[in-house]
Structure 1
Amino acid sequence: MVISMRSVTVILSVFALILGLFSGVASAKPQVRPLPQAHAHNDYEHTRPLFDALDHGFASVEADIYLVDGQLLVGHDPDDLTPERTLQSLYLDPLYKRVIANAGSVYRGKPFAFQLLIDIKTNGVAAYTELDKVMRRYPLLFTQYINGFVLRGPVTAVISGDRPRDLMASQRYRQAFYDGRIANPDDLGPGSDARMTPLVSDNWTNLFKWNGTGEFPAAERDKLRHIVSVAHRAGQRVRFWATPDAPGAAREAIWTELRKAGVDHINTDDLAGLQAFLSR
C-alpha cells in the first residue's frame, strides 16, 4: 500500500517559503524536460556529478560508494577515492536543497520520484548500516518503508552492488530499497515484493546475445518483453547494464528496442546522446 505524498509536499512548500536562502538552488534558466527512462551510469565520473545529469533531464543517477574510516566515499575504484567526495557532498546535500527549493520535487512542478541508485562496492552490511544512519539526517527527502507501507518521497534510494538483503528485509523502517536481479526468480515478478524490490537489474550480455548489430532475434525480443511484462505486473521497474554505449547504429538499435519494450531505465554514460534520443 502506498501513502499519498500530498502532506509531504505541503510541508516542503512551507519549508521552501521559510528557507528562502535556498531559492538560488533552482535554476533560473528554462526548466529541462525530465526523461523518466534516462539513467546516468557512474554519474560521479561526469564533470559536475548529479548536476550534469539534471541539466540533461535524467530521472535516475548511479553512485558507487565505499565505507572508509566512517565516511561514505564515492568512486569507481579505491584509488579514485578522496575525502571530500562523499555521498553527502555530491548527492544528498544538493538533492535536499533542490527539493526544498522546488517545494517537494527534484524537477520543479514535476512530482515524480527521482531515483538514486547507490552501488555498495564492498562491506555491504557495514556500509549499509552507516548509510542508513546518514539518510535519516535528511527528513522528507526519501521514499520510506514503514511497517509494510510505502510513503513516497521526492527521491527513491535503491541499493545495488553488495546488497545486505537480510538486514534490509529485517527492518521495519528504512529509507532504501533493494535492486534485485532479473535472472533470480526470487527477485523478479510475483515471487518478490515491490515494497522491498521495486527495481530489477541485470547484465544485458548475460541474458541476450544480440549486441545491436543486425536484426534483433524474435525469440530474444519476446524474452525482453516478457521480462518487462512480468516485472510491471509486480510493480517493479527494469534496468540493464552493459548494453553498447558507444555512439553508433548498434547503440541506437538497442536503445530503440529497450524503449519499445517499456524498459524503465536506459543505462548510459553519454548524457547528451540519450537525452537527444529520448527527446525525439
Structure 2
Amino acid sequence: MRRAVDPPAADEEQPTCTSSQPLLKQDTPERPRWRTTRRDFYHDEKLMRGLKPRCCARLGLGTLIFLGLIQLFSVLGGLLIVFVPDGIHRILNQWGRLGHIGQGLSSWPTDFSRGILPKPCHSHNDYWRRVPLYSAIEAGCMSVEADVWLFREELYIGHSLASLTPNRTLASLYVDPLVQILEKQNPTTQFHPDGNVSQHGVFDTAPEQSLTLLIDFKTSGSALFPYVLSALEPLRSRGHLTYRNGTQTINRPITVVGTGNTPFSLVDSDLTNPHHDIFFDAPLAAMWEGLPGETSTPAPKPESSVYGADIDASLPDGSASERQQQPASGEDLGQGMSGAAQSPDAYTSENSFYASVSFAQAIGHVVYGKLSESQMNLIRGHIRGAHRRGLKARYWELPFWPIGLRNHVWDVLVKEGVDLLNVDDLKGATETDWGSKTGWWS
C-alpha cells in the first residue's frame, strides 16, 4: 500500500529544474567580507592581488599602535612620579622648603656659582653679550675680555666709538660686579672671620681658580694705563688681584692682563706698575721654538694693527689731559707690540700671563678643512715657546664658519696644548661635544 503524500500548499512554489547543470555561483548565499577565505577569492583575481598589501598594511599599523602604547605608558609612568612622587622624590622636590625636610639647608654663603665647572675658554668681546661677565661665568669661562676707551677721565666699554654709551664703563660692567660677587663668596662669619682676606674665587666648585680679566687698551696705552691702574683699586684694596711679590706670583680670584695698546714698558716697570698686579699679553708669534736640532723657519710675526687712528679727531673739546697723546715710537701698535721688548725672552711669568696672536695672521687660512703640516709646525712651536716661558698660549681671530671647520680647529688646538680657547659661541664651546664633530670632510 502506497503512502499518501500531502499536496503542496497553494502559496508554495515548487523548484523547477530546467537543466542538469548545478546552481550558478551568484545563486549561492553571499558571506560577509570579513568571513571570506582565500578559496572564496579564488576566481576573483583583482581581490587576490590586493590581499597581500592589505595584510602588510594592517601588520604595520598594528606594530605602530603597539609601539605607541608602550611610549604612552612610559610617559604616563614619568608623569606619575611627578604628580604622585614616591618617598625619595618627595624629599628631593621639597628639600629646603619651609616645613619640609632640609628646611634652611638648600643654600650656603658661597652658592653663587653652584654646580658650574670652570673650563679653559676665553669669552671674546664679552661686553657684547646680553649679560656681560655673568654669562661667561655661567658657561664656566675662566677668562673675559673688556675693550676700554678713555674719554674725559672715564673708562668706557665697547668695541668701537659708535658702540660707547655713558653707563657702560669698566666699573659698572666688571669691577663693581666682581667686588659684589667676591664679597658674597668670601663672607665674614664665625667660621670665616677674615672675610676681607680673599680666599674664594668666583667658582664655588674650584675656589682656587682665578678669573682672568683681559683689558684691551683701545686708545693710547700710555694715557690709559694710570686710569686702569686706579680703576682696579676696589679689587686691589680687598686683596682680590693676583700679583707678584718679587719672587713668586700670589694667586688671587682675579688676574688682570693688559692687551691691545697696553705698553709692555709700563707693565714691566716698578714705577708705573707698583703693585705688580697688571700682567702683559705677550706676542706668541715671536716665541716660536723648534725641536732640538730642527731647522724649520720660525713663524712670521703678525702684521701690526694700529688702534685708535681716528681717536683724536673724535674727542670732544676739552683740556689737554683729556686728549690722547700722539703715540711715541713703538707705542700703540696693537697686541704684544706696544712698547715691546727687544728679545722674546724678556716675557716671563714675572711680567706676562698670556702669549697671544691672531690665528688668521700667524697660521693663515685652513685650506680643504685640514691644517697643513707647516701650520701644525707653527702651532706646536708657538705653544712650546710660550710654555717654556711659563705663559699661557692663546689664539684669537679663529675661524668661525663653517661650524665643522671651527670645531676641527678647536679640537686640534686643545689636543696640541693651547691653554685657552678664544670663543664667541659660549654654548657651542662649553655645552656640546664638538671634539667628535669635526665636519663633513672627516
TM class, shorter-chain normalised?
0.7 to 0.9
Shift of 1:220: 1.5
* 1:208 equivalent in structure 2: 363
- The separation in 2 between residues aligned to 1:40 and 1:212, in whole angstroms, is 26
Q: Give SS of 2:286's match.
A: coil
Match of 1:106 among 171, 190, 202: 202
1:272 and 2:427 equivalent? yes
Q: Give SS of 2:145's match.
A: strand
Shift of 1:200: 0.7
Give the 3 Å change call, closer, same or farther, for CA 134–84 of structure 1 in structure 2.
Answer: same
- The separation in 1 between residues aligned to 2:284 and 2:134, in whole angstroms, is 30
Shift of 1:189: 6.2
CA contact (8 A) 2:112 2:185 kept: no
1:175 and 2:277 equivalent? yes
Give the 3 Å change call, closer, same or farther, for CA 25–203 of structure 1 in structure 2.
Answer: farther
1:116 and 2:213 equivalent? yes
Unmatched tracts of structure 1, length 5 or more: 1-22
Structure 1 stretch displaced more, 73-82 or 97-106 = 97-106
Residues 224-270 of structure 1, C-alpha deviation per residue, up to 9 Å, x if partnerless? 12211221121100111111123511101100111111111111111
Over aligned residue pairs, what C-alpha RMSD do you find? Answer: 2.4
* 1:34 equivalent in structure 2: 118
* 2:387 equivalent in structure 1: 232
Give the 3 Å change call, closer, same or farther, for CA 99–147 of structure 1 in structure 2.
Answer: same
State how many pairs are aligned. 257
Match of 2:145 among 51, 57, 62: 62
* 2:404 equivalent in structure 1: 249
Match of 1:220 among 345, 360, 375: 375
Tell me which amino acid in the other structure corresponds to 1:85.
R
* 1:157 equivalent in structure 2: 256
CA contact (8 A) 2:113 2:203 kept: no
CA contact (8 A) 1:44 1:50 kept: yes
Unmatched tracts of structure 2, length 5 or more: 1-106, 187-199, 288-340, 436-442
Shift of 1:148: 4.9
Shift of 1:70: 1.2
* 1:44 equivalent in structure 2: 127
Give the 3 Å change call, closer, same or farther, for CA 101–142 of structure 1 in structure 2.
Answer: same
1:142 and 2:245 equivalent? no
Q: Give SS of 1:98's match.
A: helix
Structure 1 stretch displaced more, 85-94 or 170-179 = 170-179
Give the 3 Å change call, closer, same or farther, for CA 274–213 of structure 1 in structure 2.
Answer: farther
Shift of 1:86: 0.9
Give the 3 Å change call, closer, same or farther, for CA 96–49 of structure 1 in structure 2.
Answer: same
Tell me which amino acid in the other structure corresponds to 2:254.
V
Give the 3 Å change call, closer, same or farther, for CA 233–28 of structure 1 in structure 2.
Answer: closer
- The separation in 2 between residues aligned to 1:222 and 1:246, in whole angstroms, is 23
CA contact (8 A) 1:187 1:200 kept: no
Q: Give SS of 1:174's match.
A: coil
Q: Give SS of 2:258's match.
A: strand
Normalising by the residue count of structure 2, what TM-score does the alignment of the two structures yield? 0.54
Q: Give SS of 1:137's match.
A: helix
Q: Which has the higher strand share?
A: 1
CA contact (8 A) 1:200 1:239 kept: yes
Give the 3 Å change call, closer, same or farther, for CA 128–212 of structure 1 in structure 2.
Answer: farther
- The separation in 2 between residues aligned to 1:89 and 1:187, in whole angstroms, is 37
Tell me which amino acid in the other structure corresponds to 1:204.
F
Give the 3 Å change call, closer, same or farther, for CA 167–276 of structure 1 in structure 2.
Answer: same
- The separation in 2 between residues aligned to 1:34 and 1:234, in whole angstroms, is 24
- The separation in 1 between residues aligned to 2:433 and 2:262, in whole angstroms, is 31
1:184 and 2:286 equivalent? yes
Match of 1:129 among 203, 221, 226: 226
Residues 36-93 of structure 1, C-alpha deviation per residue, up to 9 Å, x if partnerless? x211110000000001111111111100001111111100111111111111111111
- The separation in 1 between residues aligned to 2:233 and 2:367, in whole angstroms, is 43
Shift of 1:207: 1.4
1:93 and 2:189 equivalent? no
- The separation in 2 between residues aligned to 1:63 and 1:222, in whole angstroms, is 31
Normalising by the residue count of structure 1, what TM-score does the alignment of the two structures yield? 0.84
Shift of 1:188: 8.5
Which structure has the bigger radius of gyration?
Answer: 2
Q: Give SS of 2:348's match.
A: coil
- The separation in 1 between residues aligned to 2:230 and 2:115, in whole angstroms, is 33
CA contact (8 A) 2:121 2:420 kept: yes
- The separation in 2 between residues aligned to 1:214 and 1:279, in whole angstroms, is 15
Tell me which amino acid in the other structure corresponds to 1:165.
F
Give the 3 Å change call, closer, same or farther, for CA 156–68 of structure 1 in structure 2.
Answer: same
* 1:7 equivalent in structure 2: none
Give the 3 Å change call, closer, same or farther, for CA 90–212 of structure 1 in structure 2.
Answer: farther
Give the 3 Å change call, closer, same or farther, for CA 76–251 of structure 1 in structure 2.
Answer: same
